[in-house]
Structures are given as C-alpha cells and as structure tokens.
Structure 1
Amino acid sequence: MPEPRLQFAQKAFIVDRDRVLLVRKSGSDPHHPGCWEVPGGRLKVGQDADLDEHIRREVYEEVGLRVEPGPPFHLWDWWMPDGEPGEDVRVVAVARTCRAVGGTAVTDEHRVPDDHLGEAAWVPVRDLADYDVIPGLKPVMEHFRTDLA
C-alpha cells in the first residue's frame, strides 16, 4: 500500500462589515455538489512564493477579488481520494480572515469563473448556520461564527 501524500490548503473567510463571502459548489463538482464553502484551495508547490501570495491567488482566481490576508484562526484536516482507488491524500488546511481590497464586486448573481464553483453570495454572519456547507467546513464555520464574528 502506498504512503499517503500530504497537501496544504488555505480557506479565506472574507469579511465585509457583518457579512462573509460564500461560494457554492457546482452540481457537477465531484465532492459535495451544491454545498457552500469559502474561497481557497490547495497549495501548488512552486506556484506561489509565500502563503499570503497563495491565498491572494486562490481568491482572485475563484471570485475576482483582491484580498489582504489576515491571521489564521483554525486548523483542520481531511482525507480525500487521489488517483487510483486506495490512494488517498491528507489535506491539512488553515482558515484565515481576509479583507477585500479591490477587484470585481461579487454579488449573489455573480458567476464564479471556476469549473467546480457555481455562485457566490455575501452572507450575514448571523445567517451562516442556515447554509448547507461542506461537511469538513462545518466546525470551522461554527468557530468563525461564534468566536470571531
């Protein structure tokens, strides 16, 4: 059995007044179609010079916003299939608060330029519990909603 691989990911909790930006996975996404999450993704070795650059690039690619990365506030991990059956990757992720500093204004009708994402919405922090978020993000969202909002 091959050794599992390890990858690193960052998720951006982009805050604007009392709202946070959520993105919805498309119906064709292979992992949790139709569920909501926050922008971000896995680090591609050699693509980004540092972690701030990584999260800035991920957010801009997914939602067209330029952000100023803030501090991390939560660390978690999950396993996912990687290639052949039985070959899994362990993803270690950090959630960071971020502030939008420019770019395309994202609205409820904005179509996210990503094959795996469907739409984006600014959601009041008090309403986050009403959204069907991907399972691995639920504890992070609750931590954000109760402790940091």
Structure 2
Amino acid sequence: MDNFNIDNFRIAVKAFIVKENKILLIKRRDNDVHKPNTWDIPGGRLALGENPFEGLKRETKEETGLDIEIVIPIDVHHFIREDQQKITMIIFLCKSLTENIQLSEEHQEYKWIEMNSKKEEFPEWLFGVVNKVERYITTSSY
C-alpha cells in the first residue's frame, strides 16, 4: 500500500435503465477523452464524499435529463484506465420516472435497445450485466 495515491482512485456509478424491457444506451461524442464514439449507459464519477445514490441521480439527470428510481445495485466492476486511474464502478438497475431525454453535450445520441437483442448491440463490458438484470427481472416483482 506504499504506492497508494487517493488521487488515482475513483468511484463511479452507472444507471442500467430499463423501460418496457428496453435498455437506454447513450453514445459518447467523438471528442471524448477516454472512449470516443462508444455506446455506454448513463453515469459517472462521484464527488468526494458524495452518496452513491444521489451521485447516480445527479449524473443521470445531467447526461440524459431523466429522473430515475434506483432499484438495486446489480454489479461491480474494477478496472484500470489507460491513464492509470483505478476505477471501482457500481452499476445499479434503475427505472426512469420521466420520459423526455435531453442529452448533455458529452453525448451525441441515444437509443432504447431490447434486452434480448444480439450481444453485439451492447458494449462488451455490459454482457454480464444484461444477464444479471434479466435474471433479476424474471425472478422478482420488478
């Protein structure tokens, strides 16, 4: 732990928003620093000391204009970005409470995709999350 630097560690939250068996994907702009022109789900980094639930609601509102209900944490991913930032990302299953999507300047388009679509339609890192959400929805009173 001698090399641990808090400035290189981030906690991120993501909203896996399901509506009528469809998932909301948003596409990053071509000038995005980390992953230009890639599909993603809403979310982002927490501010220092920020509650994950409030941070996720804030990030989702900023990126999509949507208000959400957080249902359950569904997955956690750990990875190191190309800039050596260590990221712990918590993915939450969410419901949209509003309809009108207004993308932020960070994103160029959005789409609702059927949950049972071909896996190629999803970002690769979401494959396992889609499976977990499908299992949760079919075995609960979602």
TM-score, normalisation: structure 2: 0.80
- 26 and 95 in structure 1: CA distance in 2 versus 1, 3 angstrom threshold: same
CA distance in 2, matches of 1:129, 1:138: 7
The residue aligned with 2:121 is 131
1:114 deviation in Å?
2.9
Match runs of 1:1-149 below 5 Å: 3-4=4-5, 5-46=8-49, 48=50, 50-82=51-83, 88-102=84-98, 105-106=100-101, 112-115=103-106, 117-127=107-117, 129-133=119-123, 135-144=124-133, 146-149=134-137
CA distance in 2, matches of 1:148, 1:114: 33
- 142 and 33 in structure 1: CA distance in 2 versus 1, 3 angstrom threshold: farther
Contact 2:115 2:130 (8 Å CA) reproduced: no
Moved over 4 A (4+): none
Q: Structure 1: 5+ residue runs without aligned partners?
A: 83-87
The residue aligned with 1:85 is none
Number of aligned residue pairs: give it.
Answer: 134
Larger strand share, 1 or 2: 1
TM-score, normalisation: structure 1: 0.77
CA distance in 1, matches of 2:38, 2:13: 18
CA distance in 1, matches of 2:26, 2:111: 6
Matched position secondary structure for 1:127: coil
Q: Percent identity?
A: 25
